[in-house]
Amino acid sequence: MILYYSPGACSLVAHVALEEAAAPYTAERVVLAEGAHRTPQYLRINPHARVPALEVDGRIITENIAILNYLAQRFGAAGSVPLDDPLAAARCNELLGWFASTVHIAFAQVWRPERFTADTDAYPTIVDGGHEALRGHFAEIEGLLGTGWAVDGHFTAADSYLLTFFRWGRRIGNDMSAYPRWAALAQRIVERPTVQRALATEDLTPEAFLQAA
């Protein structure tokens, strides 16, 4: 298998799942900041110009949720979807769906307003709307967390996704100390050797995923 990823992007979720599964794979870097996802070569892999993409025996799977469910069915390991517990699996997919379709999109409003309008004068409104939506989503995330994993009793892709968002929250200037349960979750996640291996491959430090001192 080949995982196409960009450092710190949502492809980190699939990256952690592959490490948790001890799956045979190589990681192929596609740096978004360099536009590597828009080259003709990568567009043949994912015409939507997005990471992650997972190549399996020459066939491509795109969309994090599809990749994670594939890895869950094939390896049954932590870090993806806990298929051995149907209600937990439903909760996990529910969170992944909300993250991908709603929380992630609010970040896109902040980082990529051009995706929502051609009217450059409207960009500040779109960006402000993204920040406001994220404040609401972040409060909801903090409220749904306890002292364990996001899906009770299972380390899943929902946790890795929340780890990724925690760093993004810092990057857009949020004070992440306002979310102590989420910060504690991030701390527990980066302590996992599998996560540390994925971060090392992506040239990221665990500290970037923790609450700034």
Ligand X SMILES: N[C@@H](CCC(=O)N[C@@H](CS)C(=O)NCC(=O)O)C(=O)O
Is 112 near ligand X (CB under 6 A)? Answer: yes
For the bound state, the minimum distance from the C-beta of residue 169 to ligand X, rounded and expressed in Å, comes to 14
Residue corresponding to tokens 């500290």: 207
Distance CA 49, CA 40 (A): 10
Shortest distance in whole angstroms from residue 146 CB to ligand X: 26
Answer yes or no whether residue 110 interacts with ligand X by CB under 6 A. Answer: no
Please report whether residue 51 would count as binding ligand X according to CB under 6 A.
yes
Instruction: Return all residues near 120 (Cβ < 8 A) that are at least 6 apart.
Output: 114
Q: Does 64 bind ligand X (CB under 6 A)?
A: yes
69 binds ligand X (CB under 6 A): no
Q: Is 32 in the site for ligand X (CB under 6 A)?
A: yes
Least distance CB 196 / ligand X (angstroms): 21
Q: How far is the CB of 99 from ligand X (least distance, A)?
A: 8
Minimum distance from CB of 213 to ligand X (Å)?
26
Specify the residue, 111 or 191, whose C-beta has the smaller distance to ligand X.
Answer: 111
Q: What are phi and psi of 29, to 5 degrees?
A: -80, 130
Q: Which is nearer to ligand X, 77 or 96 (CB)?
A: 96
Closer residue to ligand X, CB minimum distance, 167 or 181: 167
Cβ 192 to ligand X, closest distance in Å?
A: 21
Of these, 37, 91, 154, 192, which contacts ligand X (CB under 6 A)?
Answer: 37
Q: Does 189 bind ligand X (CB under 6 A)?
A: no
Number of neighbouring beta carbons within 10 Å of residue 142: 15
Residue ranges that bind ligand X, judged by CB under 6 A: 9-10, 32, 37, 49-52, 63-64, 100, 112
